[in-house]
Structure formats: structure tokens, C-alpha cells
Structure 1
Amino acid sequence: MNLGQWLGLLAIVTSIYILWQIRQILLLLFAAVILSTALNRLARRFQRSGMRRSLAVILSVGIFLAGVIGFFWLIVPPFIEQFQELTVRVPRGLDRFSIWIEQLGTRVPQQVAPYLPNVDSLSKQAQPFFERVLGGSFAFVTSSLEFIIKFLLVLVLTGMMLANPHAYRQGFVRLFPSFYRRRVDGILHECEESLGKWLTGALISTSVVALMSMVGLSVLRIPAALALGVLAGFLNLIPNVGPTISVIPPMAIALLDTPIKSVLVFVLYFVIQQIESNFLTPYIMAQQVSLLPAVTLLAQVFFATFFGFLGLLLALPLTVVGKIWFREVLLEDVLDRWQWGGKQDTTGLDSLCGLHDASMTKENLSNSDDVTSQERAIVDESTGVDSRAAEEQGSKGAREQGSNPKSNNKL
């Protein structure tokens, strides 16, 4: 390897290291892209009704903020109330449990009594657990502040992208070579459509799961049924993991009343997830975004391992976008056109890019009906030939050939 190749390899390794260090920022940027895609589609609907772009964007962002505020207004106060009730009832439950253990020790045979747990030893073993819970409250406050800061950053980035989305799109496209920019623009358009379809399917699935959970919990007379239903719908955005997490709060609240209610809540959520998995996902999400279940699960494990909870939350849209780039760039543009012996068929690639070979002459470009003026300008720029100079040279050659009778006789 020469010096230039070593420098190129060093630049690639350095770029990968920098991208890895800022991976959380890149995830926040991707979250802003998803949010701006959703709000941009909503703003376009308002624009079709005759509303100006600026007013449509402000109205879309306002609707989103109202939804976020309403979500936390429904979720946070009931859970604080239930947590306070839980802190009161848990010591009472422990006292009842200790009394039950003592009574059980008087009723069982003496041979079994030594194997029963001692109340004092249980309290000593439980003390470190409660200390960790109390110590984790400070970490919870810190993580909440971090979440608020990240949310504000995503919101600001979303507003900037909504103000002028074309400029950011063109800036990303210009990172690629000139002959491949139209191809990249088409891939970005397909990513936008796929993200829009995923958002539509996710909104429908979330609404149905939230409604079923709210109705079921209301029938079982579980407190804060509305908040728990909304939480179940939101966590349904995280496949496989979200439904498991969503069943814990209602079961804990139901356990404060009777254990039977806790079991009934578990059965209710199990039935809801069966309906969602067997009916909603095949008929709604599968039609919008087709992803294999194993691919979805592996993507969740991968993004959760390397990017944390935010990666788990964005695993599905990241997989959707990654699938499009993998299919369009690696499969169609590279592997599908690779031939035996290391040669590559670039004919199909050139047609996919919307461009022809840079070595094509101006005469061939002018005879082609499928080539636009923009493509001619790009080809002329890549070959170093000005289009007007090429036309003047061609017309001059034609005049010289017409004015030379000897050459005509020879032909």
C-alpha cells in the first residue's frame, strides 16, 4: 500500500470512530427526521386546503405539542397517586406477611419449622433492596432531566427541518458523487414514503390497543384505566418488549386490591396482544411495512445493545430505512450487477441513476429522448466539455464537410 492508500484507510477508521462517539446524537437526529416526516405530511394536508406553509407548520407542531402534553397529563398524575398509595400499602402488606409467617410457624410440625424463613432475617435482606429503590429515585430524576433536554433538542431540530426541508435534503444528496445524486434522491423519497406508511400503521395499531386496554381495565374496575390504556398503546410502538412492560403497572395496581384482579389483568393483556399479533399486525402493519419477525427481533437486540433504550425505541424505523438502503444500494446497484471475473455490469446502474456513461458524445445525448437537460449538463461537466462548445464544434465540422466537394465525392 502506498501513502495515499494508508491515508485513505486512516481517514475511514477515524470517521468510523467519530461516528461511534456521536452515535447518541445521530439517533436524536434520526428521531428528528422521523418526527419532521410525520409533521411534514400533516402540514401538506393543511396546505392542500389552502393554508400557507408557515401557518401549516406552526399548526402541525402545535398539535404535536398538545398531544405530548396531554399524554403526560394523563399518565403522570395517576401514577404518582398510585405510587403514593403503594408506599402506604406495601408496609402493611409486609406486616401482614410477617404475622402470617409467625402463625404458620405455630401450626406446622416442629420438623418443618426450622426451614421457614425468619421475619428478622427477611427484613434484613429486604433492607438493601429498599435502599437501592430510594437511591434510584435520584437517578430517576437525573434521567428525567436528561430526557427533557433530549426531547427539546429533537423538537428544535424538527422545527428547523420543517422550516426548509428541501435545503437539508439537497445538502445530504450533495455528499454523494454527481452521477449518483439522482439515485440517492429517489432512495430518500422511498424512505420517506416507507416511514410515512410505518407511522400510519403504528398510529392505527396504537389507537386500537389503547382503546381495548382502556375498555378492559374499566370493566375490571382498575384505577387510572385511561392512563394505563394510553401507556399500553404507546409501549406497543416497541414490538416484543413494549407489551411485556405495559402489563406490569396495571398488574401492580390491581394487586393492591386483590390478587385475582392481577391475574385477570394479565389474562386481559394476553388476549389483547394475541389480537394485535394475529389480526392488527398482519392486516395493518404488514401491508404498510413488510419486515420479517426474526429481522425485527434481531434489530431490537442489536440497537438496544449498542444504543440503549433510545435505540430500542427507534429500532423498527431504523430497520425500515436500513432495509431500503441495503436493498437499493448493495443488492440492486452492486451485487445484482456483479459478473463473474470481477467485472460489473454498469448499464443497469446507469439507468437507475438516471444518467448515461460519461463518455457518451453530445450527438448521442441529443438523439436520446429519455435524457433531460439536467443530465446533459451533468455529463458535460463530468467529461470537461462545455455543451455550447460541443454544439459549435459540431456545426463547424458540418459546414467544413459541406464546403469540401472532394470529401463529398470520396464519400
Structure 2
Amino acid sequence: MKFSQWVGFVILAFCIYLLWKIRELLLLLFTAAIIANFLNHGVQLLQRMGMKRGYAVLSSILLLLAILSAFFWLIIPPFAEQLPELFKLVALGIDQLIISTKDFISRLDPKLIDALPTNQEIIEPLQPLLKKIAGQGLLVFYATLGIPLTLLLLFALTFMLLANPSAYRQGFIRLFPSFYRPKINHILKECDRSLQGVLTSILFQMVMISLLSFIGLSILSMPLTLAQAMLAGILTFIPNIGPVLSLIPPVTIALLENSWKSVTVFILYIIFYIVIQMIENKLLTPLVIKNRKSILPALTLLSQVFFASFFGVLGFFLALPLALVSQVWLKEVLVKDILDRWKVHNS
């Protein structure tokens, strides 16, 4: 290698090391960019309606603050009040489910009971992993200014990016060589399209599953309906695993009352997800999220494990946006610009 190539390699290695050391701050910036990107589509809609950008940005910020204020004022207090009781009921329901399962297996073959692992044997191998993920998730907040100030920093970054996104976009593009800047601009547009479709779809699913859960559980006279509905909506943000986890609280709590109600709740949630998918495919996708890109379920699951191992809880929740952005960059840079142009020269 030439001296200039060695210098470039050393600089590249140092940049990678530096990015790794500040990965928590980069994840915070990525989160702010996602929120700003989503809000910017609302701002652009207001601009198309004739509103100036400054007023459109101010209107979007005020609307967001009003929604957050109403959410924390009206929903969070009863949700926080019901959440501890919800965890207790879920734990009791899981114990009841284990007892019912063992009774059923003992009727089939009593010898199978001895072969089943105990609760301790199941939980022990998972404890180190869960502690690691939880600790790294909190590190994102504690490593900077603490949770309150870090959240304030997140909102400040979001509003700054929203106020003048083109300036930050152009600044990022200029970090690359001039001949590659049009390509970077194209990649950013592809990332924007992918995130718009996915975030719209996820937000729609979260609102719908929360609303349908509250209505369905209220009709069945289930306890803690608000907490269960809110938790189901929050878990829906997590692809693949989230819908499965959202079934656990209502099914296990219903099992404490009687078995038929738990089966009814299970079937009800399956119907909810089917109805939501039908509405999304028939109405939302053609109108709003035409450019939605998807990731294979297996790759989504692997990305959740990968990003959770590096970034903890926050990485787990942001796995899908991170995977989508990574997919676009790998496709455009690695596949199209390197692998597709890699030709074998015969000597």
C-alpha cells in the first residue's frame, strides 16, 4: 500500500473508533432525526396548503406539545396507577398458566412432568442478558446529562433539525467527497421514504390496537383495561415480538377468571391484528405509505438482537428504523457501488 493509502486507512480506523465511543450520543441524534423526519412531513403538508414554513413548523411543534400534554395529563396518571397492579395480575396469571399446563401434561403422561424445566432453570440463563440490555439502555441517558436533561436535549435536537433540515442535510452530505455527494443525497431520500412508510404504519397500528383493546376488554369486563390497552399499543412498536408480548397480559389475566375468557381474549386479539392489517393494506398503504419498504421477519429479529446487544433497550425499540436505514446504505453503497461493479480480470 502507498503512504497516502495507509494514512487514509488510519484516519478511517480512527473515525470508526471515535464513532464507537460516542455511539450513545449518535443513537440519541438518530432518535431526534427520526422524530424530526416524521414531523417534517406534517410541516410539508401545511406548506402545500399555503402556510409559510416558519408558521408550519411552529404549528407542528405546538400540536405535538398539545398532544404530549394531553397524553401525560389524562392518560399517564391512571396508567401509572394501574401498572403495578397489572404486573401483579400478570405474574399470578402466568403461575396459573404453568399450573394448568402441568395438569394437562400430567394427564397425558405423568413422566413428562419431570422432564419439564423449572421456572428458575428458564429464568437464570436469561438474567445476565436482560441485565446487560437494561443497563446499556439506561446508559444512553445516564452517560450524558441524566434522564430529564437528556430528554430535554432530545427535544431540542428534534426542534433544531425540524426548523432547518436542509442545512443539516447539506452539512452531512459535504462530509463525503464531491463526486459521491449526489449518491449520498439519493441515499438520504431513500431513507426518508422508508422511514415515512414504516413510522406511519407503526403509529397507525399502535393507535388502533390500543383503541380496539380498550373497547374489547371493556366489553368483556376485564380489570385494568386502560393499562392493558396502553401496554399493548406500546409493545406493538416492536415488530414480531411486540404483538406476541401484547397478548400475554390480557390472556393471563383472563385466565385468573376462567379459561373460556382467556381463549376469547386470545381470539379477539388475533381478530384485531387481522382487521388492522386489512385496513392498512386496503386504505392506508395506497393513500399514505406507497413507498413502504419491508424487511424479512428473520432479518428483523436478528436486527433486534444485534442492536439490543449494542444499544440496550433503546436499540431494541429502534431496531426496525435502524435496520431500514442500514438496509438502504448497504444496498446502495456495498451492493450497487462495490459488489455489483466488482469484475474479475483474467490474467
Aligned to 2:308: 304
TM-score normalized by structure 2? 0.72
Aligned to 2:297: 293
Please tell me the residue identity of whatever aligns with 1:314: L
Alpha-carbon shift at residue 238 of structure 1 (Å): 0.7
DSSP 3-state at the match of 1:222: coil
DSSP 3-state at the match of 2:150: helix
Write the distance in 2 (CA, Å) between the matches of 1:180 and 1:63: 38
Alignment of 1:48-63 (within 5 A): 48-63=48-63
Please tell me the residue identity of whatever aligns with 1:54: G
Q: For residues 63-108 of structure 1, give each alpha carbon's deviation from its aligned partner in whole angstroms, at most 9, with x where no partner exists.
A: 2223333334454322443356579999xx9xxxxxxxxxxxxxxx
Match of 2:334 among 312, 330, 355: 330
Question: Is 1:232–1:243's contact at 8 Å kept on the other side of the alignment?
Answer: yes
Q: For residues 386-409 of structure 1, give each alpha carbon's deviation from its aligned partner in whole angstroms, at most 9, with x where no partner exists.
A: xxxxxxxxxxxxxxxxxxxxxxxx
Aligned to 1:315: 319
- Give ranges in structure 1 of 5+ residues lacking alignment: 94-124, 126-135, 344-411
Write the distance in 2 (CA, Å) between the matches of 1:201 and 1:31: 17
- Structure 2 vs 1, CA of residues 176 and 307 (structure 1 numbering), >3 Å: closer, same or farther? same
Question: Is 2:79–2:226's contact at 8 Å kept on the other side of the alignment?
Answer: no
Write the distance in 2 (CA, Å) between the matches of 1:287 and 1:48: 20
- Structure 2 vs 1, CA of residues 49 and 301 (structure 1 numbering), >3 Å: closer, same or farther? same
Verify: 1:31 aligned to 2:31, yes or no: yes
Write the distance in 1 (CA, Å) between the matches of 2:83 and 2:202: 30
DSSP 3-state at the match of 1:337: coil
Write the distance in 2 (CA, Å) between the matches of 1:265 and 1:73: 29
Alpha-carbon shift at residue 34 of structure 1 (Å): 0.8
Alpha-carbon shift at residue 211 of structure 1 (Å): 2.6
Question: Is 1:235–1:245's contact at 8 Å kept on the other side of the alignment?
Answer: yes
Alpha-carbon shift at residue 61 of structure 1 (Å): 1.6
Write the distance in 1 (CA, Å) between the matches of 2:344 and 2:260: 67
Verify: 1:151 aligned to 2:151, yes or no: yes
Write the distance in 2 (CA, Å) between the matches of 1:88 and 1:23: 36
Please tell me the residue identity of whatever aligns with 1:18: L
Aligned to 1:394: none
- Structure 2 vs 1, CA of residues 292 and 7 (structure 1 numbering), >3 Å: closer, same or farther? same
- Give ranges in structure 2 of 5+ residues lacking alignment: 93-119, 121-130
Write the distance in 1 (CA, Å) between the matches of 2:293 and 2:203: 13
Please tell me the residue identity of whatever aligns with 1:296: T
Write the distance in 2 (CA, Å) between the matches of 1:89 and 1:164: 48
Aligned to 1:117: none
Aligned to 2:241: 241
Please tell me the residue identity of whatever aligns with 1:65: L
- Structure 2 vs 1, CA of residues 182 and 240 (structure 1 numbering), >3 Å: closer, same or farther? same
Write the distance in 1 (CA, Å) between the matches of 2:342 and 2:236: 42
Alignment of 1:72-221 (within 5 A): 72-82=72-82, 146-221=146-221
Write the distance in 2 (CA, Å) between the matches of 1:82 and 1:205: 23
Counting aligned pairs with the same residue, the percent is 48
- Structure 2 vs 1, CA of residues 66 and 274 (structure 1 numbering), >3 Å: closer, same or farther? same
Alpha-carbon shift at residue 299 of structure 1 (Å): 0.9
Aligned to 2:99: none
- Structure 2 vs 1, CA of residues 83 and 161 (structure 1 numbering), >3 Å: closer, same or farther? closer
Write the distance in 2 (CA, Å) between the matches of 1:214 and 1:242: 17
DSSP 3-state at the match of 2:344: coil
Write the distance in 1 (CA, Å) between the matches of 2:77 and 2:297: 36
Write the distance in 2 (CA, Å) between the matches of 1:23 and 1:161: 19
Q: For residues 215-253 of structure 1, give each alpha carbon's deviation from its aligned partner in whole angstroms, at most 9, with x where no partner exists.
A: 211111124434532332232111122223334444566
- Structure 2 vs 1, CA of residues 256 and 77 (structure 1 numbering), >3 Å: closer, same or farther? farther
- Choose 58-67 or 160-169, whichever is displaced more: 58-67
- Structure 2 vs 1, CA of residues 79 and 204 (structure 1 numbering), >3 Å: closer, same or farther? closer
Alpha-carbon shift at residue 166 of structure 1 (Å): 1.0
- Structure 2 vs 1, CA of residues 218 and 287 (structure 1 numbering), >3 Å: closer, same or farther? farther
Write the distance in 1 (CA, Å) between the matches of 2:10 and 2:210: 51
